Structure 1
Amino acid sequence: MHARIRIAATVAAALGVLVLTACDTGSTVVDKPKGSAAARADDDENTTKEKSEAPGIAEVGDTLTLKGSEDGSRLDVTVTKIADPAESADEFTEPGAGKRFVGVQFKLVNTGEAAYSDSPSNGAQVADSEGQQFDATFGDITAGPSMASSLKLKPGAQGLGWIVFEVPEAAKVATVQFTMDSGFADETGEWKLS
């Protein structure tokens, strides 16, 4: 009798694991900026209209607030500039045949209560107009200094730097994404590039 109970408990536990695995993890994509870059550029013109409209999809210059996995972990993330194509800063690092470098400059501001310590490039990706995603690659570009590979920010501190991606020559890069905790946090920021 005890053997049957143990077998039933084991089967129930296994089914519970399968159910938990199949559940939605709660991951969300954040693409509504704190303030629109277009609205800031046209600040003098149509100010009342811009303020009354809901913000659109984030673009270059817009800031998204993202939460990390730990309590009190939060960043304001801004895509400040794009370099497409980006030129290698040295003669030793070149994109592969039929590919090009694309650089995205990020500004990260720790607006949380906890220290931020991560490798930002691990949580960054670009996607082309077909939906193909590309992870960051190692390389320095002439557009400016790279983002630190191991960035540590106390609350209120900020980091700025370029993250480089290698994409097919013909690809039209459409979006860039950033996720805290090396890509494992529940919130992913997304900016429209084209």
Structure 2
Amino acid sequence: MRGALLALALLAPALLGAAPGGSGETISLAGNGPGQRLDVTLAQVVDPAGPVGPEPSGSDRLVATRFRLENTGTAVYEDSPARAAHLLDTAGQRFTGNDVPTTAGPAFPGTVTLEPGSAAEGFITFRIPADAEPAAVQFALNGGLADDVGHWSLPLPRAVPG
């Protein structure tokens, strides 16, 4: 059953029309509204990411992902990057991003506003079980609800805080 869930998690983006990505690859994504378009790059994965403040509860750990967002559309981008990102593990579980600060680097603010032609970079953090193995990261505009989904298979080259 676990293998079937992993296969489904990894094949779902292809079946749903998600754009595949690799290490540092930029994927152009459309939003659901007119003129909404971003070039999205997953630049780095930090696993585990050290918390700023209290340690994660229980047997959880933090995984931080650094994204670069560039507004290549004609509309202003105003959205929550954390809600737009998801991490899939090898067991088929899906985790939504959050803006928890880590020692990996600065998180995106709760809402990012980008005029056409402008860009921003920041971290999106995922709280996952300590024994989970990340398999992929996804990103979609409109709070993660747009039809166009970027998909990056992991592992990317990882930075381990030292």
2:38 to 75, 87, 95: 75
Which residue matches 1:150? 111
Answer yes or no: is the 8 Å Cα contact 2:83–2:98 preserved in 1. no
Matches within 5 A, 1:166-177: 166-177=127-138
1:184 aligns with 2:142: no
Equivalent-residue separation in structure 2 for 1:113 and 1:174 (angstroms): 33
Q: Secondary structure at the match of 1:140?
A: coil
Q: Which amino acid aligns with 2:48?
A: P
Deviations 1:97-144 (A, max 9, x none): 111000001100000011100111111110111211111234101111
Q: Report the residue type matching 1:76 in the other structure.
A: D
**Relative contact order: is structure 1 or structure 2 higher (C-alpha 8 Å, sep ≥ 6)?**
2
SS in 1 for 2:103: coil
Kept in 1, the 8 Å contact 2:56–2:62? The answer is yes
Instruction: Show structure 1 runs of 5+ residues with no match.
Output: 1-26, 32-57
- Structure 2, unaligned runs of 5 or more: 1-15, 156-162
Which amino acid is the alignment partner of residue 105 of structure 1?
R
Partners of 1:170 and 1:120 lie apart in 2 by 26
2:58 is aligned, of 91, 97, 120, to 97
- Residue of structure 2 in register with 1:28 after alignment: 17
Counterpart-to-counterpart distance in 2, 1:88 and 1:79: 20
The match for 1:60 is 23
Question: Structure 1 CA distance, aligned partners of 2:80 and 2:150?
Answer: 16
Q: How many residues align?
A: 141
What does residue 130 of structure 1 align with?
91
Counterpart amino acid of 1:82? V
TM-score with structure 2 setting the length: 0.83
Identity of aligned residues (%): 39
Instruction: Give the whole-Å Cα distance in 1 for the aligned partners of 2:99 and 2:29.
Output: 24
Alignment-mate amino acid for residue 29 of structure 1: A
- The secondary structure found in structure 2 opposite 1:28 is coil
Q: What value does the CA root-mean-square deviation take over the aligned residues?
A: 1.4
The one of 112, 115, 140 aligned to 2:76: 115
For 1:59 and 1:96, the matched residues in 2 are separated by 31
